[in-house]
Chain A
Amino acid sequence: GAVVSQHPSRVICKSGTSVKIECRSLDFQATTMFWYRQFPKKSLMLMATSNEGSKATYEQGVEKDKFLINHASLTLSTLTVTSAHPEDSSFYICSAGVHYEQYFGPGTRLTVT
């Protein structure tokens, strides 16, 4: 149990376009999901906490107008990177909690050209 999926696994987009990443909890309901970003050989950085039915809570320094998060159901949260630029190229990972444990999706590697 506690499986989290992400789609797409890889995406390449042109600078200035928007990209949507989906995070789904497959076998449980998640009122809270988390979005992380990880640059090569760097640690996980929490971007935002996604709450079902309400606005996401963003970490300091993360632009909420650039990284749009929607948590419309108990099994789906989406992250949209708007007007992507090459510096947004990174590994984006979502996670969802079951009791006190967090389970991660497989990640989405975004490359902005």
Chain B
Amino acid sequence: QKEVEQNSGPLSVPEGAIASLNCTYSDRGSQSFFWYRQYSGKSPELIMSIYSNGDKEDGRFTAQLNKASQYVSLLIRDSQPSDSATYLCAVMNTGNQFYFGTGTSLTVIP
């Protein structure tokens, strides 16, 4: 079983819609969770971190964490074409090891 799993997509949403990206992880004791955005040909950029159960909002982005279900998600409201990128979920496990998912490709259609 992989440490972090994501649906590779591609996920397509129309401009203005909500994009929902999902991630599951295997180490139940993990405490730190991150979402990165990677544009084609560029390096990943940290957009959200979340450490507690529940929702964390930052502008159009909301990260949701459910430790009981070992599930973390990212919602992007009012999606824009500029949000088209690959979104990487990352988890720091109980051994302080950092694991990335394979990423979900998002396309926002104008």
Which residues of A does B touch, CB under 8 Å? 34, 43-44, 46, 91, 93, 100-107
Contacts and interface: CB of A to CB of B under 8 A. Distances in A.
Nearest to A103: B46
B102 A43 contact: yes
B72 interface: no
Nearest to A100: B32
A107 B42 contact: yes
Interface of B: 32, 34, 36, 41-46, 49, 51, 88, 90, 92, 98, 100-103
A47 B102 CA distance: 15
A93 B43 contact: yes
Given A34-B98, A100-B92, A102-B98, 16 more contacts: A43-B100, A43-B101, A43-B102, A44-B100, A46-B98, A91-B41, A93-B44, A100-B32, A101-B49, A102-B46, A103-B46, A104-B43, A104-B45, A104-B46, A106-B43, A107-B42
B11 to A, nearest CB: 16
Contacts, number: 37
Given A44-B88, A44-B100, A100-B92, A106 B46 contact: no
Interface SS, A side: strand
A91 B49 CA distance: 25
Contact of A44 (B32, B42, B44, B51): B44
B92 to A, nearest CB: 6
B102 to A, nearest CB: 4
A102 B90 contact: yes
22 contacts: A43-B88, A43-B101, A43-B103, A44-B44, A44-B88, A44-B100, A46-B98, A91-B43, A93-B43, A100-B49, A100-B51, A101-B49, A102-B46, A103-B46, A104-B36, A104-B44, A104-B45, A104-B46, A106-B42, A106-B43, A107-B42, A107-B43
